Amino acid sequence: MADELELLRRANPVPADAPPHADGPLDRRAERHLHRLLHEQTISPPSRELRGSRSRRGVRLAWGLAATAVVAATALALLLGGPSTPHAVAAPRPLVVRADATPVPLDRLAERAEAAAEEGGPALRKGTHVRSWSLGMSDDAPPVTLPEERVVRWTADGRHTELVVATDPRHPGRPVLGEDEDGNPRQVEDGHVISDTTYPPSWSDAPPHSRPPHDADRLRAYLEEAGHTGSMDTSQLLDATGLLLDNWTLGARESAALVRLLADTGGLRPAGQVTDRLGRRGEAYVHDGTGLRRMLIVNPDTGAVLGLETTFTRAQPEYGVAAGDVMEYSAWTR
Amino acid sequence: MSDDEIFAAAYREHYWAVTRYVARRLAGHAGEVEEVVAEVFTVAWRRRAELPRAPLPWLYGVARNCLANAVRGQGRRRRLLARLGNDDAAHGRYVTSGPEAEPPGGWVHEALARLSAKDQEVLRLTAWEELGVDELAVALGCGSRAASMRLHRARARLRTEIARLGPAPAAPHRPRPATAVDATPAKEHGHG
């Protein structure tokens, strides 16, 4: 019998000569990263660089829904601290769909959005403004929900700033769960600055940093490249939508293309009207996955995506998770 | 050559080897691999003055730390995710499949998984990254004697687990269809 090392060698899950990681020239992404390392000497330390987008990226990583958007080291930011770890957390309730509202098919909404875009409407802008609630889990404490507001603004010289504060718009002025310098959750004042970072110039020409198209087919290709997926299913498209909106504030035409793409992809069931956590009226569209339900909230007049909520549909008691708990919610504003 | 030039050369030479290292340990989370590799080289860039003449084992050591950081926080989430059935790892798709239906080496993986994390790593570095003892010492951040001892002990423990889990005594030499994993792999380092 072959010895144990030989058996293990044969069980190598990623052989040296197997694609896509076989030796060869660097791909575009690897070249870009090397270029960035060599020419952007002021690159930020990863902990700061990553923390700002932790709530979006980390959660997405955790659920493997669009893992490519993630830097794995963000995980540390979600680790809970020691004895002072807060346990009592006001986790958000899932949004309630109005029973008396007549659902609007997504196709219809796409038509409205296209009509609205023809009349003008807001323009595309790089950067984002998102409020999020995301569940952080650890091995030794119950899950906690971290409410954050993240604002990313780009300047003409290619720099961008990212400000992340701990805040919960449902309870203005009240202390919230934020995180300390080490990324451990703790109670902080409303508006506590988690990170305030200025990044050196970057002119990345790859999605999601390149300008998104305003045509549904081209937008699909763009999002597939951004999400590193092949042909996207509904769940992947929702992931990619989050990724897009975490980088861009869409204009009317891009919003119309996105809602058309969502309608054409299918898998989203019109559920009725909701009022989102920022008090905005929206149409809700639901996608049921295994153990998770995702609800997209869309402006009924313009087709602009207002929010995306992910909720557990099955209890997982040993993880401290009940059916109906919100895993993540993001609300985008201009 | 300046530190920057040496770093760039190491990056170009070893990018794919580091990628494979990470991919082997992020089973089923293919989407995360690129990001972790980027993190590895970002850390390596900051520490480029320390880059040794033979950088790959050192890069593996950096990657090991990056992965440890990533895995510590994600462990609980991963387990829940696997239970919900939403990712590749939950379905065992991370194992390279050959023409046969049975995933090659599935029980070897199982035997490996029964060992401590330290044992697993020293064995993987030896079998998958094909490091010699001196290189192992660099990757693990210990002396050569300690590395040699760790490998020796880990091999013994793996042998024991394989004996428990492996096929019946007559089976080990059963013919297996040729697969990519059967081919003698190129040495993981020293390639261009």
Cβ proximity of A170 and A277 under 8 Å: yes
Percentages helix, strand, coil for chain B, rounded to the nearest 5? 65, 0, 35
Instruction: Check CB contact of B135 with chain A, cutoff 8 Å.
Output: no
In this complex, do A72 and B70 lie within 8 Å of one another by their Cβ atoms?
A: yes
So what's the pLDDT on residue B54? Answer: 92
Alpha helices in B85-176 (DSSP H): 106-113, 117-127, 133-140, 144-165
What gap in Å lies between CA B136 and CA B118, rounded to an integer?
A: 12
Residues 6+ apart with CB under 8 A from B101: none
Residue A73 distance to chain B (closest CA, Å): 5
Q: Which residues of A touch B172 (CB under 8 A)?
A: 1-2
Cβ proximity of A136 and A317 under 8 Å: no
So what's the pLDDT on residue B59? Answer: 96
Residue A159, φ and ψ in degrees, nearest 5: -85, 160
DSSP tag of B115: S
Q: Which residues of B touch A290 (CB under 8 A)?
A: 84-86
Nearest CB neighbour to B172, from listed A1, A24, A66: A1
Cβ proximity of A101 and A313 under 8 Å: no
What gap in Å lies between CA A307 and CA A297, rounded to an integer?
A: 5
So what's the pLDDT on residue B80? Answer: 60
Nearest CB neighbour to B32, from listed A10, A37, A72: A72
Q: Retrieve residue B38's tokens.
A: 């980027």
What count of other Cβ atoms lies within 10 Å of the Cβ of residue A97?
Answer: 18
In this complex, do B191 and A30 lie within 8 Å of one another by their Cβ atoms?
A: no
Residue A19 located in a structural domain: no
Minimum Cα–Cα distance from B127: chain A residue: A9
Confidence of residue B92 (pLDDT cuts 50, 70, 90): very low
ipTM exceeding 0.95, yes/no: no
So what's the pLDDT on residue A269? Answer: 96
Preferred mutation among B76, B78, B94, B121 to probe A, highest tally of A CBs within 10 A? B76
Instruction: Check CB contact of B140 with chain A, cutoff 8 Å.
Output: no
So what's the pLDDT on residue A52? Answer: 32
Instruction: Check CB contact of B93 with chain A, cutoff 8 Å.
Output: no
Cβ proximity of B82 and B89 under 8 Å: yes
Q: Which residues of A touch B36 (CB under 8 A)?
A: 71-73
Nearest CB neighbour to B158, from listed A4, A66, A228: A4
User: What secondary structure does DSSP assign to A28-39, as a single string?
Assistant: HHHHHHHHHHHH
Residues 6+ apart with CB under 8 A from A20: none
Residue A7 located in a structural domain: no
What residue ranges define each of the domains in chain B, with the CATH number in brackets? 1-91 (1.10.1740.10), 100-172 (1.10.10.10)
Residue A123 located in a structural domain: yes
Q: In 3D, which of A198, A111, A186 has the Cα closest to residue A154?
A: A198
In three-state secondary structure terms, A191 is coil
% of residues, chain B, pLDDT over 70: 65
In this complex, do B72 and A61 lie within 8 Å of one another by their Cβ atoms?
A: no
Q: In 3D, which of A311, A315, A318, A271 has the Cα closest to residue A289?
A: A311
Q: Retrieve residue A269's tokens.
A: 């069931």
Instruction: Check CB contact of B127 with chain A, cutoff 8 Å.
Output: yes
Residue A11 located in a structural domain: no
Q: Which residues of B touch A77 (CB under 8 A)?
A: 73
Preferred mutation among B40, B79, B84 to probe A, highest tally of A CBs within 10 A? B84
Q: Which residues of A touch B72 (CB under 8 A)?
A: 75-76, 79
Nearest CB neighbour to B127, from listed A8, A43, A73: A8
Residue B141 distance to chain A (closest CA, Å): 21
In this complex, do A62 and B7 lie within 8 Å of one another by their Cβ atoms?
A: no
What residues make up the domain containing A236? 32-332
What count of other Cβ atoms lies within 10 Å of the Cβ of residue A301?
Answer: 13
**Range B104-115 burial, b when 16+ CB lie within 10 A, else e:** bbebbbebbeeb
- Report the range out of A84-98, A146-160, B58-72, B158-172 with the highest average pLDDT: A146-160
Q: Which residues of B touch A37 (CB under 8 A)?
A: 7, 11, 41-42, 45
So what's the pLDDT on residue B57? Answer: 95
Parallel/antiparallel/unpaired status of strands A248-249 and A125-136: antiparallel
What gap in Å lies between CA A250 and CA A262, rounded to an integer?
A: 15
Residue B40 distance to chain A (closest CA, Å): 10
Cβ proximity of A242 and A308 under 8 Å: yes
In this complex, do A23 and B191 lie within 8 Å of one another by their Cβ atoms?
A: yes
Residues 6+ apart with CB under 8 A from A170: A92, A277
Q: Could you tell me which residue, A75 or B151, shows the higher pLDDT?
A: B151
Instruction: Check CB contact of B32 with chain A, cutoff 8 Å.
Output: yes
What count of other Cβ atoms lies within 10 Å of the Cβ of residue A126?
Answer: 16
Tell me the residues of chain B between 160 and 179 that have a Cβ less than 8 Å away from chain A: 162, 166, 169, 172-173
Residue A289 located in a structural domain: yes
What gap in Å lies between CA A134 and CA A70, rounded to an integer?
A: 15
Q: Which residues of A touch B124 (CB under 8 A)?
A: 8
Q: In 3D, which of A136, A132, A152 has the Cα closest to residue A144?
A: A136
Q: In 3D, which of A278, A276, A279, A285 has the Cα closest to residue A258?
A: A285
In this complex, do B74 and A79 lie within 8 Å of one another by their Cβ atoms?
A: no
So what's the pLDDT on residue A89? Answer: 42
Burial of A186 (0-12, 13-18, 19+ CB in 10 A): middle
pTM of the model: 0.57
So what's the pLDDT on residue B117? Answer: 85
Element (H, E) at B179: none
What gap in Å lies between CA B172 and CA A10, rounded to an integer?
A: 13
Give the CB-side neighbour count of residue B115, counting CA atoms within 13 A. Answer: 26
What gap in Å lies between CA A120 and CA A23, rounded to an integer?
A: 50
Instruction: State how many domains chain A has.
Output: 1
Confidence of residue B191 (pLDDT cuts 50, 70, 90): very low
Residue A104 located in a structural domain: yes
Per-residue pLDDT of chain A (334 residues; tens, 9 = 90+): 578 899 999 999 899 988 888 888 888 888 888 988 888 654 433 332 333 333 333 333 333 322 222 222 233 233 333 333 333 344 678 888 887 778 999 999 999 999 999 999 899 999 999 999 888 766 566 777 888 899 999 988 888 888 989 888 888 888 888 766 555 667 888 888 887 877 777 777 778 889 999 999 999 999 988 876 778 889 889 989 999 999 999 999 999 999 999 999 999 999 999 999 899 999 999 999 888 899 999 999 999 999 999 998 988 776 788 888 888 899 999 8
Look-up of token digits 């054409």: A264
**Range A150-163 burial, b when 16+ CB lie within 10 A, else e:** bbbebeeeeebebb
Q: Could you tell me which residue, A59 or B158, shows the higher pLDDT?
A: B158
Burial of A124 (0-12, 13-18, 19+ CB in 10 A): middle
Q: Retrieve residue A250's tokens.
A: 């869409």
Look-up of token digits 């203005």: A172
Residue A2 located in a structural domain: no
So what's the pLDDT on residue B77? Answer: 57
Q: At what angle do helices A28-39 and B30-46 cross, to 10 degrees?
A: 20
